[in-house]
Structure 1
């Protein structure tokens, strides 16, 4: 007997199936809607953060990126949130962003320097050292540079030095001489000379055959005042790796710092040459006043480009122009500068052409070139600014000080409140005995930047030298000294105002200090005058002679000697 299907049973089964399937479908649909909503929320947060960042609202941007990261599985958003939060100075947001990044990408090495940076900001020494240790342990040749940068960029200098010491003591530094040199230099920059010396000693034991370590020793010996040992260390470094171009450039820098620019130029003359190395040679030869050496280099470059014209690029044209200028061949220099076409250097070339025209006695043409530069549509704003400064400088050179004031004023219409233009105009006003105008410009500079030591010093010195407002002058000079306590010009100003206030003994202390810091003809003029009026006339004459040896044509010194009939 065939059993017929029961319609009632079938309907019941269908109803049961629908009852089971419906929640599954509804749940799937709800999950899809949730995912869509989450993605939409993430996108909205991301767009909002981007707009905030473009508008300079970095704190809001960081929070927006964090919201986007929470709604996304993309670790790049968490990274973005962390970086923006650190830049915005929002440690709590940075902490949450880094935690989200760690959850999404626990093995990320790129996260470690940010974690270390945050730990330094929060004063967490152990956490910072731990993150740096992990970063350095994962080194592929570049991570030590990230660690170096993170340690250098924090405001917590003492903490950075302590963490660096912890890393060194734990043996965490990589076996890379450049890394040791970098961290050792950082220790010194952070004010921990003892740590830097310990690292230098350890590096010498660990890498005795590496040139970089010997250059480190040269730097260390020079700082200790042992120039013979410093020079020997440079020679050892060059003997170890004579073909290393980068090493030669570093060695040349060290020799120049030791006070031997001629030796620096000679080092660069050996081995392969390019525009960068030749530029260094020019700088060192000029510093050594080696005209014969500059002529040799000039002829060398001309021979190279004559043999292979493809090497006559704009860098070499500019270099040949500089050499022609240094060798007092203005027409040749101008011809080389005229050939420069690269827009990044064209403005600077135009400035140098104006200088050559003036040297050739064609000052009107020089000024015309500069005026054309001032009205040209250029992306290079610096060369336009410099054109005003140079034109005024040429006018002052030819005793046209009022014209120079007018040029500075024209420049200030374009570059409003520019410090260079204001400062130069103030000095020119002072030279013209326009003291109210000079004081106004200097006060404007101080108002713009109360930490401008040069402006504070200039204002104080002007008041001390040209008025009787000595107490006010002293206040400005002391403020300048608080900012730059060892700047010779400011120490000189302090000595001069002390003399003007009748305190000759203290004036001599400060003026002698200024001359020791930097032998200068104007300081010699001041020191000699105080010695002269203190009855120490032979010492005054000796100081003045030293000043004349430095600059026989110095106006302040010559005027002082003439005024005192010395």
Structure 2
């Protein structure tokens, strides 16, 4: 009965339509997505991406569109700068107008309009805008003025505007502005203007900076005494100014008075730069005492100065044959230091001298990897490795290293010279001659190349007439050079002129105790029948270089197997 009642109720109930589901608020929202040309964010992003890949033309086009969609004056300013930079004059004018309408400040807009006028060659408009710029009262007005002229395509036009506008009556009461205009005139080739403004600045301000700049101008003009007098005045006003002391010392040194320069630098505050210049002056005069004093002083300097001078400390330690200390200093050179590469190369050379050949070659191999993308450093690392192999008399590896370096810097004279030596020492005379001849084509008359080729031919006992011509050129250029004298003496021996050979080689041997020179002299003496005298020289050579290949080869030629003098 209950089931029946339920069914009945269903059949008699009135029918009602079912209500539709209520939509959610977000379902009613329609988002209008602008196309890229009308999307400010998209244009700004595209412009910045173009700048990132240095595509200024594309960046300018994107900022041109962004400017029209934005009320931000900074966007219009960027659009104007880019359009001027890529010479889109119409777009630049449009951007400048938009920027001004959005409230550009007087100085920046005048500067930009002057840039555009100069780019268009409109000197009158450029002058009008530059006058507005310097009259704006902006604290950076004169700096912006200089920037406009320095960046102008027509530097002669810029120079004329400089002379017309940056006159003493208009320049502000700021010595830096005067010096900046004088320096700008110097850069633009207006030397008389630059000198005039510098002299006027000295009369008006009488401060250290104006004295220093006027001194530099006088020094350029050849008035060294006048320049030194002005720098002396500058130092009287700012005795603790290290930069002025360095400038004055540099001027004294350039005038040939290194002693006065050193004395000036030795007094007063010391920093990494003063120590470096003092060391350079002492090294120029091979003043071992001064170098030792500098080394002691630097070791006692502040931690900051020592850190900045690690490379210099290493050099000073090397000069005093303190190799262990030099290695320690070089190891402290920061990897961001401009001398980091040189410090590593010097370390490799010291390690090799200490007999740590494997470590030396490993260090240079690592440098070759680290500086793979820097051709000059890569060349130096390969050349250093090659020269170490030359010391080791491993001529095949030396030649291979020189050849790799020549792939990096083809036709480099130093590398060709080194590889030629490696070939010659290895007995590959044709290849050595080829390298030396190629070097002489690159540097006709080069003394070292002439000597190397002349000696190589003489040593191989071939083309002696050509060898004589080459060595005569070398002797004329360096008549007192012991290496060239050795080559000439050896040539005379090959020509059979034993007395002349002995006389020349003995002079070279007395001038420099070199193992090869000694072997040559001893061989000439032996051929003269003076075996006792030859033996004395051979003994001296053994003390100098017990592993001399030249000595070994000479004894093979001169003595029966198993015998020795």
| TM-score category (smaller protein) | 0.5 to 0.7
Q: Conserved in 2, the CA contact under 8 Å of 1:426 and 1:439?
A: no
**Distance apart, 1:402 and its partner CA:** 6.6
Distance 1:270 1:249 in 2: 12
The correspondence of residues 162-561 of structure 1 with structure 2, limited to 5 A, is 162-169=160-167, 171-207=169-205, 209-287=206-284, 289-304=286-301, 310-311=303-304, 314-342=307-335, 344=337, 346-358=340-352, 360=354, 365-375=359-369, 383-384=377-378, 386-392=380-386, 394=388, 403-411=397-405, 418=409, 424-426=414-416, 428=418, 459=442, 461=444, 553=481
Q: Conserved in 1, the CA contact under 8 Å of 2:330 and 2:344?
A: yes
Distance 1:190 1:131 in 2: 20
The correspondence of residues 71-86 of structure 1 with structure 2, limited to 5 A, is 71-86=69-84
Question: Secondary structure of 1:77's match?
Answer: helix
Judged with a 3 Å threshold, the aligned counterparts in structure 2 of structure 1 residues 369 and 62 are, in CA distance, closer, same or farther, namely same
| Deviation sequence 1:90-134 (CA, Å, 0-9, x none) | 444334333332332331534444443333332233333444444
- 1:103 aligned to 2:101? yes
Q: Conserved in 1, the CA contact under 8 Å of 2:298 and 2:306?
A: no
Name whichever of 190-199 and 281-290 sits farther off.
281-290
Distance 2:395 2:85 in 1: 47
Contiguous gaps of at least 5 residues in structure 2 = 1-30, 424-430, 451-469, 493-499, 505-565
| Deviation sequence 1:190-245 (CA, Å, 0-9, x none) | 222222222233223222x2222322332233233332222222212211221223
Q: Conserved in 2, the CA contact under 8 Å of 1:94 and 1:118?
A: yes
Judged with a 3 Å threshold, the aligned counterparts in structure 2 of structure 1 residues 59 and 318 are, in CA distance, closer, same or farther, namely same
Question: Secondary structure of 1:109's match?
Answer: helix
Distance 1:408 1:155 in 2: 45
**Distance apart, 1:72 and its partner CA:** 0.8
**Distance apart, 1:64 and its partner CA:** 1.3
Q: Conserved in 1, the CA contact under 8 Å of 2:371 and 2:378?
A: no
Q: How many residues align?
A: 436
1:475 aligned residue? none
Judged with a 3 Å threshold, the aligned counterparts in structure 2 of structure 1 residues 272 and 195 are, in CA distance, closer, same or farther, namely same
Q: Conserved in 2, the CA contact under 8 Å of 1:215 and 1:234?
A: yes
Distance 1:556 1:178 in 2: 56
Distance 1:139 1:559 in 2: 75
**Distance apart, 1:353 and its partner CA:** 0.9
Judged with a 3 Å threshold, the aligned counterparts in structure 2 of structure 1 residues 253 and 151 are, in CA distance, closer, same or farther, namely farther
The correspondence of residues 108-187 of structure 1 with structure 2, limited to 5 A, is 109-137=107-135, 142-169=140-167, 171-187=169-185
Give the superposed CA RMSD. 4.5
Distance 1:404 1:389 in 2: 9
Distance 1:422 1:87 in 2: 39
**Distance apart, 1:554 and its partner CA:** 8.4
Judged with a 3 Å threshold, the aligned counterparts in structure 2 of structure 1 residues 557 and 139 are, in CA distance, closer, same or farther, namely farther
TM-score (norm 2): 0.63
Question: Secondary structure of 2:104's match?
Answer: coil
Distance 2:55 2:126 in 1: 28
TM-score (norm 1): 0.63
**Distance apart, 1:85 and its partner CA:** 3.2
Distance 1:140 1:57 in 2: 32
| Deviation sequence 1:72-93 (CA, Å, 0-9, x none) | 1112222222333344344443
Distance 2:173 2:253 in 1: 29
Q: Conserved in 2, the CA contact under 8 Å of 1:275 and 1:316?
A: yes
1:61 aligned residue? 59
**Distance apart, 1:424 and its partner CA:** 4.6
Distance 2:103 2:236 in 1: 47
Contiguous gaps of at least 5 residues in structure 1 = 1-31, 443-456, 468-521, 530-543
